[in-house]
Amino acid sequence: MKDNFNYPYFNKNKLSAFEKSKCDVQKKLNNFSKYVPRQSIARFVTLFEIFKLQKNIKGSIVECGVHHGGSLMAFAKISSILEPYNFNRKIIGFDTFKGFLGLDKKDKMVVKKYPLIKKGLFSEDYSIYEEINSCVEEYDENRFLNHINKIELIKGDANKTIPLYLKKISICSSLYYLWILIFISQQAQR
């Protein structure tokens, strides 16, 4: 299912400078600050500041709800920039990669107010999981200690996958990891 969510700060009604530009894609990406709205940069800068807050704490970063992977990949790349030899820091993302699996009866009130919230919200008509994995491959080609995994994507219902994952790490490394749960509010991007 195609995700029809539109970021309010992108003008959908006219062709963007990015779309109009004849500039080569690589050059566009390298000069991304020309094209993205300030809100996108604010989002990235916020992630950078969050990362710095935990930089001196041993442990992994866990993102519950990865969606397109922008935050997950930002954390991974910032880790490779600020602590390129920290092979203990993992970036772990939990998601169905198929959007919402369903809604609870308790969510009825929210659904009334926001009809966009329904089963399948945040899914796409392509595999987000495969797309992020190909980004992870590119990321791995361009970092130190790339024989040691940095990013882990855990696919499935987090209600099930998180308890299973916690069981696994409690056997092999519970004393080692400090878990930092980062919930990034969409509000922070406004």
Ligand X SMILES: C[S@@+](CC[C@H](N)C(=O)[O-])C[C@H]1O[C@@H](n2cnc3c(N)ncnc32)[C@H](O)[C@@H]1O
CA distances from 167 to 64, 97, 161 (A): 17, 22, 10
Nearest approach in angstroms of CB 20 to ligand X is: 26
Of the ranges 1-9, 61-69, 104-112, 143-151, which one interacts with ligand X (CB under 6 A)?
Answer: 61-69
CB 38 within 8 A of CB 157: no
Q: Which of 70, 107, 165, 180 lies at the binding interface for ligand X (CB under 6 A)?
A: 70
Q: Does residue 100 touch ligand X according to CB under 6 A?
A: yes
Check residue 122 and give left, alpha or beta (phi > 0: left; psi -120 to 50: alpha). left
- Contact between 75 and ligand X by CB under 6 A: the answer reads no
Least Å from the CB of residue 175 to ligand X: 27
Is the Cβ of residue 145 or residue 164 nearer to ligand X in the bound state?
A: 164
Closer to ligand X by Cβ: residue 23 or 184 = 184
Question: x/- site string to ligand X, residues 146 to 185, per CB under 6 A?
Answer: -----------xxx------------------------x-
Q: Least Å distance between CB 145 and ligand X?
A: 26
Q: In what side-by-side order are the strands of the sheet with 151-155? A: 151-155, 91-95, 60-64, 179-182
Member of 51, 75, 122, 139 binding ligand X (CB under 6 A)? 122
Round the CA-based radius of gyration of the chain to a whole number and report it.
18
Nearer to ligand X, 145 or 188 (CB): 188
Contact 94, 158 (CB under 8 A): yes
The answer to whether 132 and 76 are in contact (CB under 8 A) is: no
Spell out the residues 6+ positions from residue 154 whose beta carbon is closer than 8 angstroms to its own: 92, 93, 94, 95, 161, 162, 165
| 120 interacts with ligand X by CB under 6 A | no
